[in-house]
Structure 1
Amino acid sequence: MKTIAAVAFNKEVPLTITEVDLDEPRAGEVRVRMVASGVCHTDAIVRDQWYPTPLPAVLGHEGAGVVDAVGPGVTKVSVGDHVLLSFDHCGECANCASGLPSYCSNFFAANFGGRRADGSSGFSLDGTEISSHFFGQSSFANYANVPVNSIVQVPKSAPLEILAPLGCGIQTGAGAVLNSLAPAAGSSIVIFGAGAVGLSGLLGAVIANCTTIIAVDVHDSRLDFAKELGATHVINGAKEDVIARVQEITGGGANYALETTGVPAVFSTMTKSLAVRGHAAVVGAAALGTNANFDIGSLLPMGITVTMVVEGDSVPSSFIPQLVDLYEKGLFPFDKLIKQYPFAEINTAFDDSAAGTTLKPVVVF
Structure 2
Amino acid sequence: MTRRFQAAVLRSYEDPFTVEEVALCTEPGPGEILVEIAGAGMCRTDLAVRRSAGRSPLPSVLGHEGAGVVVATGGDPGNGLGVGDHAVLSFDSCGHCRNCRAASPAYCDSFASLNLFGGREEEPPRLTDAAGKALAPRWFGQSSFAAYALVPARNAVRVDPALPLELLGPLGCGFLTGAGAVLNTFAAGPGDTLVV
TM-score (norm: length of structure 2): 0.90
1:119: how far off? 6.2
SS where residue 130 of structure 1 aligns? coil
Aligned to 1:91, what secondary structure does the other structure show? coil
* 1:85, distance to aligned residue in structure 2 (A): 0.3
Task: State the match for 1:19 in structure 2.
Answer: 21
Deviations 1:306-359 (A, max 9, x none): xxxxxxxxxxxxxxxxxxxxxxxxxxxxxxxxxxxxxxxxxxxxxxxxxxxxxx
| Residue 99 (structure 1) aligns with | 103
Shift of 1:60: 0.2
Distance, in Å, in 1 between the alignment partners of 2:127 and 2:71 is 17
Structure possessing the higher radius of gyration over alpha carbons: 1
Work out which of the residue numbers 41, 52, 55 in structure 2 matches 1:52.
Answer: 55
> What's the CA shift for 1:75?
3.9
Task: Check 1:10–1:91 CA distance in 2 against 1; reply closer, same or farther (3 A cut).
Answer: same
| Closer, same or farther: CA 65–31 of 1 in aligned 2, 3 Å | same
Q: 1:28 to 1:47 in 2, by over 3 A?
A: farther
- Say if 1:122 and 1:133, in contact at 8 Å, map to a contact too: no
Equivalent residue for 2:134, pick from 108, 129, 132: 129
- Offset of residue 82 of structure 1: 0.3
Report the AA paired with residue 73 of structure 2: V
CA contact (8 A) 1:122 1:145 kept: no
Tell me the SS of whatever aligns to 1:128. Answer: coil
**Are 1:29 and 2:32 an aligned pair?**
yes
Q: 2:10 aligns to what?
A: 8
2: CA distance, partners of 1:110 / 1:120? 18
Change in 2 beyond 3 A, CA 1:181/1:117 = farther
Shift of 1:48: 2.4
Q: Is the 8 A contact 2:127 2:137 kept in 1?
A: yes
Aligned-pair CA distance for 1:115: 3.5
Matched, 1:69 2:72: yes
What is the CA–CA distance in structure 2 between the aligned matches of 1:96 and 1:174, rounded to whole Å?
A: 20
Q: Does 2:98 align with 1:111?
A: no
The Cα offsets for residues 10-64 of structure 1, whole Å up to 9 and x where unpaired, read as 1011100010001222222111000000000000011322671101000000000
Instruction: Please state whether the residue corresponding to 1:6 is helix, strand or coil.
Output: strand
Shift of the alpha carbon at 1:93? Answer: 0.6
Aligned length: 191
- The 1:109–1:162 alpha-carbon spacing in structure 2 relative to 1, beyond 3 Å, is same
Query: Structure 1 residues 153 and 121 mapped into 2: Cα distance closer, same or farther (>3 Å)?
Result: farther
- Judged with a 3 Å threshold, the aligned counterparts in structure 2 of structure 1 residues 103 and 86 are, in CA distance, closer, same or farther, namely same
Q: How does 1:1-365 map to 2 (within 5 A)?
A: 1-23=3-25, 24-49=27-52, 52-76=55-79, 77-116=81-120, 118=122, 121-125=125-129, 126-183=131-188, 185=189, 208-211=190-193, 213-214=194-195
Distance change in 2, residues 1:107/1:121 (3 Å):
farther
**Matched letter for residue 106 of structure 2:** S
Structure 2 vs 1, CA of residues 54 and 102 (structure 1 numbering), >3 Å: closer, same or farther?
Answer: same
Question: How has the CA–CA distance of structure 1 residues 48 and 151 changed in structure 2, closer, same or farther, with 3 Å as cutoff?
Answer: same
Of 82-91 and 42-51, deviating more is 42-51
Q: How much does 1:113 deviate?
A: 2.2
Q: Which protein is richer in helix relative to its size?
A: 1
TM-score (norm 1): 0.50
| Cα distance change, pair 65–85 in 1 and its aligned pair in 2 (3 A) | same
Q: RMSD of aligned C-alpha atoms?
A: 1.8
Change (3 A) 1:51 1:210: farther
* Partner SS for 2:161: coil
Structure 2 unaligned spans of 5+: none
Does structure 2 conserve the Cα–Cα contact (< 8 Å) formed by 1:45 and 1:51? no
Q: Retained in 2: the 8 A contact 1:32–1:67?
A: yes
3-state SS, counterpart of residue 113 of structure 1: coil
Q: CA deviation at 1:169?
A: 1.1
